Amino acid sequence: MIKVYSTPTCPWCTKVKSYLQSKNVEFIDINVAKDVKERNEMMSLSGQTGVPVINIDGKIIVGFNKDEIDSTLNI
């Protein structure tokens, strides 16, 4: 399962989600501006308060790191 922790006003979050969609990768978009429980989970997993944070089957990627995303997803 892939989770993208994001906020509606984050341009890098939009880029991550658009990139995943362009690769036909399914993901769950989590708005951490509204969901405190998920925001706390994101901070616990990543040690970060900034977005985007991507959780790919337990592998945490902070920011829009295309090379790391591709490597993790083998695409």
Ordered by where they begin, the domains of the chain are 2-66 (3.40.30.10)
pLDDT tens for residues 33-56?
999 999 999 999 999 999 999 999
Q: How many CB atoms lie within 10 A of CB 67?
A: 8
pTM of the shown model: 0.95
What is the pLDDT, as a whole number, of residue 5? Answer: 98
Q: What is the pLDDT of residue 8?
A: 96
| Amino acid (one-letter) located at 54 | I
Length of the chain: 75
Residue 27 identity (one-letter amino acid): F
Residue 68: per-residue pLDDT: 97
Average pLDDT over residues 57-67: 97
- Per-residue model confidence (pLDDT) at position 7: 98
